[in-house]
């Protein structure tokens, strides 16, 4: 399925943030994702982003209009069209001069909102018991249940063994 770049990339960033280790270097994670421009995060901004990540996790656990609207309401979102770096016109949801944590919050909230409006069923958490990994389902048929082939295989092998016993 093709998502618009904001919903797709921003929702994918939300999933990566939720799946990251709680001690992960957030600036490095953002840089590896390609989120630009990267700046440093203060201790307060880091703590604020970690709280935000817990909120994103709640959306992946149970994506609802109310939860996503609450995220959007918490951001400093001010949509505008940008044409920076020779790129074609595209939307930004926070001013480039805003603090990094505020920009990430606006970006991820808008991405999840866009994805939710396109197809809420594509916001997922792995169906394997004990796995807390979240994902954005970009499969053709939109029926993904597991975060990876590994988790899927574990569940299916366990089901097979249970039936065979």
What is the tens place of the pLDDT at every residue in 25-48? Answer: 999 999 999 887 677 899 999 999
* pLDDT given for residue 158 in this prediction: 86
More confident residue, 113 or 92: 113
Q: Band the pLDDT of 113: cuts 50, 70, 90.
A: very high
More confident residue, 90 or 113: 113
Mean pLDDT in residue range 110-131: 93
40 in the Ramachandran plot: left (φ > 0), alpha (ψ -120 to 50) or beta?
A: beta
Mean pLDDT in residue range 11-31: 95
Match domain 5-121 to its CATH number in 3.40.109.10, 1.10.3300.10, 1.20.1370.10, 3.90.1650.10.
1.10.3300.10
For β-strands 123-125 and 90-92, DSSP reports them as unpaired
How many beta carbons lie within 10 A of that of residue 142, not counting itself?
Answer: 12
Entry pTM: 0.86
* pLDDT given for residue 37 in this prediction: 66
Residues 6+ apart with CB under 8 A from 131: 146, 147, 151
Tell me which residue of 45, 50, 66 sits closest to 18, measured CA to CA.
Answer: 50
* Domain spans in the chain, listed from the N-terminal domain onward: 5-121
Mean pLDDT in residue range 126-141: 93
Q: Band the pLDDT of 6: cuts 50, 70, 90.
A: very low
What mean pLDDT, rounded, does the chain reach? 90
* pLDDT given for residue 79 in this prediction: 87
């Amino acid at each position: 399925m093709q998502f618009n770049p904001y919903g797709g990339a921003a929702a994918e960033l939300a999933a990566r943030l939720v799946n990251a280790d709680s001690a992960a270097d957030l600036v490095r994670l953002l840089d590896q994702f390609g989120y630009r421009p990267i700046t440093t995060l203060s201790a307060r901004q880091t703590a604020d982003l970690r709280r935000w990540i817990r909120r994103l996790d709640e959306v992946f656990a149970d994506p609802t209009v109310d939860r996503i609207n609450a995220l959007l309401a918490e951001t400093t979102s001010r949509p505008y069209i940008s044409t920076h770096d020779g790129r074609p016109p595209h939307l930004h949801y926070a001013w480039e001069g805003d603090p990094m944590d505020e920009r990430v919050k606006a970006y991820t909230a808008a991405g999840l909102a866009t994805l939710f409006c396109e197809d809420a069923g594509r916001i997922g958490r792995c169906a394997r018991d004990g796995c807390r990994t979240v994902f954005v389902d970009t499969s053709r048929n939109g029926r993904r249940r597991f975060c990876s082939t590994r988790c899927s295989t574990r569940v299916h092998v366990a089901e097979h063994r249970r039936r065979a016993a």
